[in-house]
Amino acid sequence: MEAIYIVMGVIALLVVVLLVKTVRIVPQARAGIVERFGKYKESLPAGLNYVVPFVDKVRYTIDLREQVVSFPPQPVITEDNLVVSIDTVIYFQVTDPVAATYEIADYIQAVEQLTTTTLRNIVGGMDLEETLTSRDSINSELRGVLDEATGKWGIRVNRVELKGIDPPPSIKDSMEQQMRADRNKRAAILTAEGERQSAILTAEGNKQSAILNAEGDRESQILRAQADREAQILRAQGEGQAIQTVFQAIHDGRPDQSLLAYQYLQMMPKIAEGDANKVWIVPSEIGKALEGLGSTLTDLQGIPQEVDGPRTRVSMGSTEPQLPKSSTGELGSTRATDEAVKEAIAAAESAAHPGRSDDAADVAADVTPQTAPQQTDPAVDPTNVPAPAEPGVDDPTRE
C-alpha cells in the first residue's frame, strides 16, 4: 500500500510539473518570445497560452508600452569650441518584439549611444547662442535620425527632449555679466529718457509760469496806473472843492481885523509845540494884531475894515467825485474834470478879489450867473450876517 501511495504521489507531481510547463500567462501589453531547442518558434500574445513542456521555452518577455529613458549629461562641443553638457530624454516604443530581441543585443544602450553621437553631430554645427535658442530644431533633427536608425530594431522613437544645456561656469559668468550690462544699459537709457522728459516738462512749466507772471504783472501795473490816475482825479476834484469851500466861507463870513487877530492868537500855541523848539520866529504882524484887539484906532496894513464880498454862496455843484465810467471816454472825462477844477479855482479867486482881472470876473460869471437866485450858506444863520456898513459910520462891534 505504501508503494502505491508513493507512485501516485510521483504521478501527481509529474502532472503538476507538466501543467506548469505547458501553461504560460502573458500580461497585458507584453509579448513572449518562444524558442524551441534554441530557435525562435513564435510570439505569445497577452493572455493564456500553451507550449510543449520541456521542448518550448519562453525566452524573453518584451514590454510593448511606450518607455521613457533619461540619459545622463553628455559633453558636446559647439562650433565656437565651447563644451556644453546636454541632458536628453527619449520616448520610444517597441513595435516588433522579434526584431527588438534578435536584431540588437541591448536596444536601450543602442539608443543612448546613437542619441549621443547624433546630438554631437547636430550641436557641432551651431554656436553657443544658437544652441541655447534652437531646442525645437535640435529635437526635430534628433528624432528624425533616431527614428530612421532604430526602425530595423523594431523600435519607434516618438519624441526627443533636451532637459538642459549647461555651458561652462566661466561662460555662465560672462553671460551674466553681459546680461547685467545689457540691463544696466537699458536702465540708463530709461533713466536718461525720464530725466529728459522731466527737464522738458519743467521747462514748459517754468515757461508757462513766467508767461502767467508777466501777464499778472502787466495787469497789475495797468490796474495800479488806473487806480493812481483815478486817485489823482479825485484828489484834484477834492482840492478844487476844498478851495471853493474855503473861499466861499471867507466870502460868506466877511472877516475883519478882529477875526484875523484872533486867528493869530490861536496860532501861537502851535508855534510853541515841540520839545526841541528853542527859538521862536514870531511874525511882525502879531503885535499889530494884538493892538487891534484893544483899539480900533489903528488898522492892520492890508486888512480892510469892511468887506464888500458877495453875501450869496457860489454854487459848487455836486460834492461826489465823478469817475470815468468807460475806458473809451477816460481822456475826455479827465480833461473835463481839469477844466472844472480850473473854473472853480478861477471862480474862487474872482470872489476873493472882485476887481483884479476881467478874465476872472468872466470865469466867475460863467460859474455863477447873475440871474441865478441867491443862496445863503447853510452853515451860517442869515440873520447873523452883518449888513454892509454905510460910509462914515463906525461898526459898533469894534468898540
Residue 132 — very low, low, confident or very high, per pLDDT cuts 50/70/90? confident
Q: Which residues contact 115 (CB under 8 A, 6 or more apart)?
A: 71, 88, 90, 142, 146, 160
What is the rounded distance in angstroms from the CA atom of residue 191 to the CA atom of residue 281? 83
Element counts in the chain: helices (H) and strands (E): 10, 8
DSSP 30: E
pLDDT score for 212: 93
pLDDT score for 89: 92
pLDDT score for 15: 82
The phi and psi torsions of 324 (rounded to 5 degrees) equal: -65, 140
Query: In the structure grid, which three cell numbers stand for residue 240, read together?
Result: 478844487
pLDDT score for 393: 40
- pLDDT over 90 at 249, yes or no: no
DSSP 103: T
CB 256 within 8 A of CB 302: no
Residue 80 — very low, low, confident or very high, per pLDDT cuts 50/70/90? confident
pLDDT score for 229: 92
Identify the bridge partners of residue 48 per DSSP, sorted by sequence position. Answer: 25
Name which of 203, 327, 207, 227 is nearest 215 in CA terms. 207
- pLDDT over 80 at 209, yes or no: yes
What is the rounded distance in angstroms from the CA atom of residue 310 to the CA atom of residue 361? 13
Which one has a higher pLDDT value, 344 or 75? Answer: 75
- Residue ranges and CATH numbers for the domains of the chain are 2-63 (no CATH), 66-167 (3.30.479.30), 219-269+283-385 (no CATH)
- pLDDT over 50 at 364, yes or no: no
**For the packed helices 257-271 and 285-294, what is the interaxial angle rounded to 10 degrees?**
130
Share of the chain above pLDDT 70, in %: 66
Residues 163-184 have pLDDT tens digits of 888 888 888 888 888 889 999 9
Name which of 53, 57, 55 is nearest 15 in CA terms. 53
CB 332 within 8 A of CB 232: no
Residue 320 — very low, low, confident or very high, per pLDDT cuts 50/70/90? low
- pLDDT over 50 at 306, yes or no: yes
What is the rounded distance in angstroms from the CA atom of residue 159 to the CA atom of residue 147? 9
